[in-house]
Amino acid sequence: MAILDCKAAWKAIETYRPKRLTELFEGDGGRVNRFSRDVAAIHFDWSKTHLDDDLLGSFAGLAYMADYHGARDCLFAGDIVNFSENRPATHVAERGQGKPEDNRLAAERHARMRSLVDAIEGGAFGEIDSILHIGIGGSALGPDLVIDALGRDADRFEVRVLANIDGEAFDEATWGLDPASTLVVAVSKTFTTTETLSNLDAALEWLREAGVADPHGQVIAVTAAPDKAVAYGIDETRVLPFGEGVGGRYSLWSSVGLSIALALGWGAFEELLEGAAEMDRHVKLTDGAANVALLAAFADLFYTQNRRSQSRGVFAYDERLRLLPDYLQQLEMESNGKSVTGEGKPLRRPSAPVTWGGVGTDAQHAVFQLLHQGTTAIPVEFVAVIENEDSLDPRHHQLLLANCFAQGAALMAGREQQDLARAYPGDRASTTVLLQRLDPRSLGALIAFYEHRTFANAVLLGINPFDQFGVELGKEMARALDDPKGREKLDPSTRNLIERAGL
Ligand code: F6P
């Protein structure tokens, strides 16, 4: 069928009835190869999804009509892709893969960041042994993921990440730290976020109470609004700026990654960027289903648009990647949880599903029951690492991987039984992402893959992944609670809760 427009392509995708997964493998010895890709030492396997050649044809038509390749080229060219805010999205420039002028600016900022890392390491801030990283959302999740994944054995600064405004989080993050040897890194793109500024106030108080003579002097601010950080009282020599075009959830590559560089060393930070750049180059130069970001989006969209799946599960079979689902929740849901198109019209189809997940094998004993036998089929993504670095006998890691692969096989094969309670319907899809090893380079490539996949999904859906107006109303209402007049306008249930809590 010739695909005439997006509507026709969507219709073909929505109404298509593929064979069962096990049937797709029958008599097709090439399926694994055709639906697997190797990029940047990461192996991706989509063969256990329902994608087949007909679907690939329909999706290729959709990608053509939605001009995915043109949109991708605009992203890398530094053109405006965030139409509602009239901005480019320059995170690729942080990896040296954007427009030359943006790359140059990013490199200059990295040079400043590096000097600061050198200065801290060289003792310019005294005997610093710990970093209190304060930030929330995109100003915390990326650094937290990378440091948790790669910083375990690093004999460097201890980094604690503080996001929540809850004082319990503050107490936990500062527990056991010596204020005199702790450097505070306050990260906020806008430098207006209530949680971050309140936590920064609390951190300054914590330093002051411990007798630190110049608490502000022990703070570094990372922001796209340097004037606001200076107005807050941070000396401009300790304000690291980053560009307005770098979205919060795409920002770990910028100065926002200062804590990463401190935790892992500058060399590791550069390798992280280089791994991301390798994925960028693949995405930039590869068209159609050979492009892993686009192929991933094809599979994602089959499940949301055809099977109407409302969630997707991501399970890291590697303890070091335990924060990956949290990170992806923001990346995918804040980017693509939209109900308007980029042109401001109502979106007539499901946008992003709920991203959720956990760690294998723990999750097998908690939530996999529903994945195997629940009434809704949820596409699952397994992320695993071939080479282990733990202290145990390699057999331990082999068992971990065997469990991971067995789950994918069982979801697909199912099992018929007379006793329905013991039967598995099977035909449940999974994708496997297999890293050869977990190091800064491969993690950089993996995260960049998820960014590009999110972008590809957005382009095919016709939405803007780079704004997040949906988070504003709750913030506004929280501010209204401070004002008695604002409270009067609230609904009775909320007013009652406020009264009960004595606010
Ligand atoms: O409220 C959502 C959000 O704006 C995210 O997009 C962002 O990552 C987070 O808050 C933190 O914002 P900021 O970096 O400006 O403090």
Task: Tell me the best of 82, 87, 139, 331 to mutate to test the pocket of ligand 1, counting ligand atoms within 8 Å of each CB and taking the most.
Answer: 139
Task: Report the separation in Å between the CA atom of 192 and the middle of ligand 1, taken as the mean of its atom positions.
Answer: 9
Query: Closest ligand 1 atom to the C-alpha of 187?
Result: 14
CB of 196 shorter than 6 A to ligand 1: yes
CB of 327 shorter than 6 A to ligand 1: no
Report the half-sphere exposure of 122 (CA within 13 A, side-chain side): 7
Report the side by side order of strands in the sheet with 42-45: 36-39, 42-45, 430-435, 380-385, 311-317, 354-359
Specify the residue for token string 């000396």: 235
d(CA 108, CA 485): 48
Q: Please write the tens of the pLDDT for every residue from 416-470.
A: 999 999 999 999 999 999 999 999 999 999 999 999 999 999 999 999 999 999 8
Q: Write the CB contacts of 96 (distance below 8 Å, at least 6 apart in sequence).
A: 103, 106, 107, 273, 277
Query: Closest ligand 1 atom to the C-alpha of 190?
Result: 15
CB of 193 shorter than 6 A to ligand 1: yes
Tokens, residue 421 = 């309670």
Cross-strand partners of 134: 162, 186
CB of 353 shorter than 6 A to ligand 1: no
CB 434 within 8 A of CB 386: yes
Q: Write the CB contacts of 133 (distance below 8 Å, at least 6 apart in sequence).
A: 140, 143, 144, 159, 160, 161, 162, 185, 187, 259
CB of 369 shorter than 6 A to ligand 1: no
d(CA 426, CA 232): 57
- Per-residue confidence (pLDDT) for residue 254, from 0 to 100: 98
Q: Minimal CA–CA distance to 95: which of 107, 87, 83, 85?
A: 107
Active site residues: 334, 365, 475
Query: Closest ligand 1 atom to the C-alpha of 468?
Result: 6
Task: Report the separation in Å between the CA atom of 145 and the middle of ligand 1, taken as the mean of its atom positions.
Answer: 17
d(CA 360, CA 35): 24
Tokens, residue 196 = 């971050």
Task: Report the separation in Å between the CA atom of 385 and the middle of ligand 1, taken as the mean of its atom positions.
Answer: 31
Q: Is the pTM of this model over 0.90?
A: yes
Task: Tell me the best of 84, 192, 193 to mutate to test the pocket of ligand 1, counting ligand atoms within 8 Å of each CB and taking the most.
Answer: 193
- Per-domain residue ranges of the chain: 2-85+276-467, 99-264, 470-501
Query: Closest ligand 1 atom to the C-alpha of 138?
Result: 8
What distances in angstroms separate CA 13 from CA 56, 342, 361, one per listed residue?
A: 9, 21, 34
d(CA 87, CA 321): 32
- Per-residue confidence (pLDDT) for residue 487, from 0 to 100: 85
- Find the DSSP H helices in 78-131: 91-94, 100-121
Length of the chain: 503
Task: Report the separation in Å between the CA atom of 188 and the middle of ligand 1, taken as the mean of its atom positions.
Answer: 7
Q: Write the CB contacts of 207 (distance below 8 Å, at least 6 apart in sequence).
A: 179, 182, 184, 215, 218
Report the side by side order of strands in the sheet with 219-223: 158-162, 130-134, 182-187, 219-223, 239-241
Residues of the chain with pLDDT under 50: 1-3
Write a three-state SS string for 8-50: HHHHHHHHCCCCCHHHHHCCCCCHHHHCEEEECCEEEECCCCC
CB of 249 shorter than 6 A to ligand 1: yes
- Per-residue confidence (pLDDT) for residue 2, from 0 to 100: 43
Going by alpha carbons, the residue nearest to atom 5 of ligand 1 is 137
Q: Minimal CA–CA distance to 245: which of 105, 145, 108?
A: 105
Task: Report the separation in Å between the CA atom of 469 and the middle of ligand 1, taken as the mean of its atom positions.
Answer: 11
Query: Closest ligand 1 atom to the C-alpha of 251?
Result: 8
Q: Which CATH number fits domain 2-85+276-467: 3.90.1010.10, 3.40.50.10490, 3.40.50.300, 3.40.718.10?
A: 3.40.50.10490
The answer to whether the 2-85+276-467 and 99-264 domains have the same CATH topology is: yes
CB of 90 shorter than 6 A to ligand 1: no
Query: Closest ligand 1 atom to the C-alpha of 248?
Result: 8
Tell how far CA 8 is from the center of its chain: 32
CB of 190 shorter than 6 A to ligand 1: yes
CB of 448 shorter than 6 A to ligand 1: no
d(CA 200, CA 222): 12
* Highest CATH level, class, for 99-264: alpha beta
Task: Report the separation in Å between the CA atom of 106 and the middle of ligand 1, taken as the mean of its atom positions.
Answer: 20
Q: What is the largest CA-CA distance in the chain?
A: 75
Going by alpha carbons, the residue nearest to atom 3 of ligand 1 is 137
What distances in angstroms separate CA 440 from CA 146, 255, 436, one per listed residue?
A: 8, 17, 12
